[in-house]
Amino acid sequence: MALSGRFKIICLCSLLVVLCSCGTSTSQEEQAVVEDSLVWYPGRTFDYRIKFNDLHAKQHKVASAIGLPRPPKDRADAASMRKSLVQITTNDNYIVDSLTHSVPYLIPAAKRELDAIGAEWADILSRNGLPHYRFYVTSVLRTQEDIKYLQRSGNINSVTQSCHCYGTTFDLAYMRYDKVTRTNLYMHEDNLKLVLGQVLLNHQRAGRIYVKYEWKQSCFHITVRE
């Protein structure tokens, strides 16, 4: 009987352990649900291809008129033009990506426009009670040498007479974002794309930029106009 009693105690303890474990698992699952709360920007969607269809000829005309006097041949040549350029660096609103075929320099007007886009982007997120994210700048000033490398790699949007060669133009990725706010709230990339798209649409309508939606490269191709 003593042995049987000990056996019952052991079984009862084992049952309690299982029940406690089940309770802990359920609690963790419920906590995980709480920690991942989807939020969204309630702006109206629009067709990016239709709204952002400022073609190369239009962008190149203004780039060659207000940008560098000539496209730099290579990185050394670009360095000799630094007095006409300002460097862009990662900040609170955007990340300068690891550039392989461009250098992080723009003419002052383009730098101001990029910063203004970043400021309006942050303002929209804040006003709507959304977590703060940063967008990515994926291409900036290119040399003629950079253009050749891109063409060899098969980039169909890389043209010899590129607007990027004048320091007036930059690309913003629309499917990559970096979450800054430490919160349980998160947003989908498509909805963040809408926020960025709305900012660019505002600036385009104000006559400040030209925008081309490059869907194969997953970026907005932007040239400052003034």
Is a pLDDT exceeding 70 seen at residue 52? yes
CATH of residue 214's domain is: 3.30.1380
Q: What is the mean pLDDT of residues 42-49?
A: 96
Q: Are residues 31 and 75 in the same domain?
A: no
Question: Hey, what's the torsion of the CAs at 221, 56, 147, 96, to 10 degrees?
Answer: -10
Question: CA neighbours within 13 Å on the CB side: how many for 122?
Answer: 14
Give backbone dihedrals phi and psi of 95, rounded to 5 degrees, phi first: -115, 130
**Cα–Cα distance between 211 and 204 in angstroms, integer?**
7
Q: What is the mean pLDDT of residues 35-48?
A: 93
What separation in angstroms does the CA of 6 have from each of 2, 12, 38?
6, 10, 51
What separation in angstroms does the CA of 86 have from each of 25, 179, 226?
54, 27, 16
Q: Which domain holds residue 20?
A: 1-35
Question: How many domains does the structure of the chain reveal?
Answer: 2
**Cα–Cα distance between 179 and 136 in angstroms, integer?**
12
Buried b (16+ CB within 10 A) or exposed e, 94-104: bbbbeeebbbb
Q: Are residues 149 and 191 in the same domain?
A: yes
23 vs 42: which has the higher pLDDT: 42
Q: How many CB atoms lie within 10 A of CB 116?
A: 15
The predicted structure's pLDDT at residue 154: 58
The predicted structure's pLDDT at residue 35: 66
Q: Are residues 116 and 45 in the same domain?
A: yes
Q: Are residues 93 and 148 in the same domain?
A: yes
Q: Are residues 98 and 196 in the same domain?
A: yes
Q: Are residues 104 and 211 in the same domain?
A: yes
Q: Are 177 and 122 spatial neighbours (Cβ–Cβ below 8 Å)?
A: no
Is a pLDDT exceeding 90 seen at residue 25? no
Burial class from Cβ neighbours inside 10 Å (0-12, 13-18, 19+) for residue 77 reads: middle
Q: Are residues 142 and 160 in the same domain?
A: yes
Q: Which amino acid is at 177?
A: Y
Is a pLDDT exceeding 50 seen at residue 222? yes
226: pLDDT confidence band, cut at 50, 70 and 90? Answer: confident
Q: Are residues 10 and 71 in the same domain?
A: no
Q: Are residues 65 and 23 in the same domain?
A: no
Q: Are residues 3 and 83 in the same domain?
A: no
- 60-84 per-position pLDDT tens digit: 999 999 999 999 999 999 999 999 9
The predicted structure's pLDDT at residue 150: 80
Mean pLDDT score of the chain, rounded to an integer?
Answer: 86
The predicted structure's pLDDT at residue 27: 45
**Cα–Cα distance between 193 and 199 in angstroms, integer?**
10
Q: Tell which phi-psi region holds residue 14, choosing left (phi > 0), alpha (psi between -120 and 50) or beta.
A: alpha
15: pLDDT confidence band, cut at 50, 70 and 90? Answer: very low
Q: Which amino acid is at 197?
A: G
Is a pLDDT exceeding 70 seen at residue 18? no
Is a pLDDT exceeding 90 seen at residue 30? no
Q: Are residues 54 and 148 in the same domain?
A: yes
Q: Are residues 122 and 30 in the same domain?
A: no
Going 75 to 158 to 89 to 182, the CA torsion angle's sign is negative
- 123-181 per-position pLDDT tens digit: 999 999 999 999 999 999 999 999 888 877 655 455 567 899 999 999 999 999 999 99
